[in-house]
């Protein structure tokens, strides 16, 4: 199997680690049938890829065999942001979906034990045909038998229809919301779109809550809460609602 090193993973503050770890634990109670989890957002720059790769890392660290699939083919920066390195170059999901390589050739083991990745190596202007192809469906079906969990990082819902096409192949979705930045109506519209796919909405990650008054050097943290009846979180006063 091919190998790549991830050389720029951030060192997270304790409270961020704990919030992400709680997310991992909560997902474990979603049911044994929830194995392929789509992570998306309403708009760009809400932190969905950050949540996806760090959740993937935590799952791998506790012994789950987990695969991260980057499907943001139009605008992925995961490979450069986290500095994926392979001495022979990286072949991404777009090479498999276009029929240039076989699935095994685009699954990379990483320097994190139990952690595997199917990356994007070259952004594509219009990947709709690739994402709607039978090869995408086959990819997920084959990977389900090889991994305990599959984390699928998708484009934002408000930008293109790619995430909705991907959702129908997943067991559940997580919606990342940037606190104080995304209007409630935009979030409600995203939830409505996800419900049309009939794939369970497992919950939301309320992201970038300002904790500067608490003396945090990081300034933000990640919280997890179930989305129910168009409300947010579990009612704790420190969870801010989007405007």
Provide the pLDDT for residue 207: 84
Res. 211 pLDDT band, cuts 50 70 90: low
Instruction: Mention every residue, 6+ apart, whose C-beta is less than 8 A from residue 157.
Output: 40, 41, 42, 163, 164, 190, 193, 194
Encode pLDDT of 64-102 as tens digits: 999 999 999 999 999 999 999 998 899 999 999 999 999
User: What is 89-103 written as a DSSP string?
Assistant: ----HHHHHTTSS-G
Task: Tell me the mean pLDDT in the region 205-219.
Answer: 59
Superfamily of domain 2-8+15-225: P-loop containing nucleotide triphosphate hydrolases (3.40.50.300)
Res. 206 pLDDT band, cuts 50 70 90: confident
Encode pLDDT of 96-130 as tens digits: 999 999 999 999 999 999 999 999 999 999 999 99
Task: Tell me the mean pLDDT in the region 50-60.
Answer: 96
Task: Tell me the mean pLDDT in the region 7-27.
Answer: 91
Please give the structure tokens belonging to residue 174.
């997580």
Q: CA 241 to CA 231: how far, in whole Å?
A: 9
Helix (H, G, I), strand (E, B) or coil at 110: strand
The yes-or-no verdict on residue 237 having pLDDT over 80 is no
Listed in order, strand segments (DSSP E) in the chain are 2-6, 36-41, 66-70, 84-85, 108-110, 115-118, 149-153, 172-178, 201-210, 220-225
Instruction: Mention every residue, 6+ apart, whose C-beta is less than 8 A from residue 76.
Output: 49, 70, 119, 120, 123
Provide the pLDDT for residue 97: 97
Q: Which residue has the higher pLDDT, 1 or 112?
A: 112
Determine the length of the chain.
243
Q: CA 178 to CA 186: how far, in whole Å?
A: 12
What are the sequence ranges of the domains in the chain? 2-8+15-225
Q: What single DSSP character describes residue 104?
A: G
Supply the pTM of this predicted model. 0.87
As a whole number of Å, the CA-based R_g of the chain is 17
Say if CB 40 and CB 162 are below 8 A apart.
no
Query: Order of strands across the sheet with 172-178?
Result: 84-85, 2-6, 108-110, 115-118, 66-70, 149-153, 36-41, 172-178, 201-210, 220-225
Res. 212 pLDDT band, cuts 50 70 90: low
Res. 25 pLDDT band, cuts 50 70 90: very high
């Amino acid at each position: 199997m091919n190998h790549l090193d991830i050389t720029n993973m951030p060192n997270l503050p304790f409270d961020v680690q704990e919030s992400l770890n709680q997310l991992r634990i909560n997902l474990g109670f979603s049911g044994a049938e929830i194995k392929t989890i789509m992570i998306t957002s309403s708009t760009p720059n809400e932190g969905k890829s950050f949540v996806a790769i760090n959740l993937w890392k935590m799952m791998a660290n506790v012994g789950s065999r987990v695969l991260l699939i980057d499907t943001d083919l139009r605008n992925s920066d995961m490979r450069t942001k986290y500095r994926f390195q392979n001495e022979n170059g990286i072949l991404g999901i777009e090479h498999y979906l276009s029929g240039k390589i076989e699935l095994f050739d685009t699954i990379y083991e990483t320097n994190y034990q139990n952690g595997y990745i199917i990356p994007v190596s070259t952004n594509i202007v219009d990947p709709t045909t690739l994402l709607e192809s039978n090869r995408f469906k086959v990819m997920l079906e084959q990977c389900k038998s090889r991994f305990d969990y599959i984390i699928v990082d998708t484009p934002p819902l408000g930008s293109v229809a790619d995430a909705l096409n991907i959702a129908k192949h997943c067991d559940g979705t997580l919606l990342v919301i940037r606190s104080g930045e995304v209007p409630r109506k935009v979030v409600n519209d995203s939830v409505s779109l996800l419900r049309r796919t009939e794939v369970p909405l497992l919950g939301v990650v309320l992201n970038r809550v300002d904790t500067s008054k608490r003396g945090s050097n990081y300034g933000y943290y990640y919280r997890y809460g179930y989305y129910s009846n168009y409300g947010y979180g579990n009612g704790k006063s420190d969870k801010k609602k989007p405007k």
